[in-house]
Amino acid sequence: EREACPYWKAVGILSDHIELSCGGERKGLLDPQATESVALACCPEPYGRCEVSERVKGCDELTVPILTGAESAASVADSWIGKLQKARGALIAADSRCSVLAPEDPHATCKGENLAGRDDIYCEMMLFQTEQLGDGSEA
């Protein structure tokens, strides 16, 4: 069912980055040349490079304004994790086929280097990594 959501792969990348951000990993996340850049979320293949014309229709319009907006008074890390969750939520809300995915609210928090408070997002992220990136395979 999650594959029916046109933004499933982008949601997976954003979920992946929510977890990465808990570990303090932010370097190059918006740099489209970085290997695992969040800027690649709207490409058809996870973390794949693509031309603007190949990007998933509507994805950039929903996520870019949220991810590139000015930082709030909150700490940079909290603000970035919040932006990732808002962008993820915007994609889910944009298409009824995405309603099978975990909702935006309540926002996850970090407990040390781990994602906390949202086991559903963590499970989706693990499914995404396994199915789309092959993480955990013995290849």
Residue where the block lists tokens 């989706």: 124
Number of folded domains in the chain? Answer: 1
DSSP one-letter code for 24: T
Q: What is the pLDDT of residues 84-118, one digit of tens each?
A: 999 999 999 999 999 999 999 999 999 988 889 99
Q: Does residue 111 belong to any structural domain of this protein?
A: yes
Q: Quick check: 41 and 63 in contact, CB under 8 A?
A: yes
Flag whether pLDDT at 139 surpasses 50: no
Q: Does residue 138 belong to any structural domain of this protein?
A: no
Q: Quick check: 86 and 78 in contact, CB under 8 A?
A: no
Q: What is the pLDDT of residues 30-82, one digit of tens each?
A: 666 677 889 899 999 998 999 999 999 999 999 999 988 765 445 555 588 89
Q: What is the pLDDT of residues 14-27, one digit of tens each?
A: 999 998 888 876 65
Q: Does residue 105 belong to any structural domain of this protein?
A: yes
Give Cβ neighbours of residue 125 (< 8 Å, ≥ 6 apart): 12, 15, 16, 18, 19, 115
Q: Does residue 94 belong to any structural domain of this protein?
A: yes
| pLDDT score of 22 | 86
Range of the domain at 66: 2-133
Q: Does residue 139 belong to any structural domain of this protein?
A: no
**DSSP calls for 77-135:** HHHHHHHHHHHHHHHHHH-GGGTTSPPSPSPPEEETTEEES-HHHHHHHHHHIIIII-T
Type and span of the H or E element at 17: helix 8-22
| pLDDT score of 1 | 87
| pLDDT score of 80 | 85
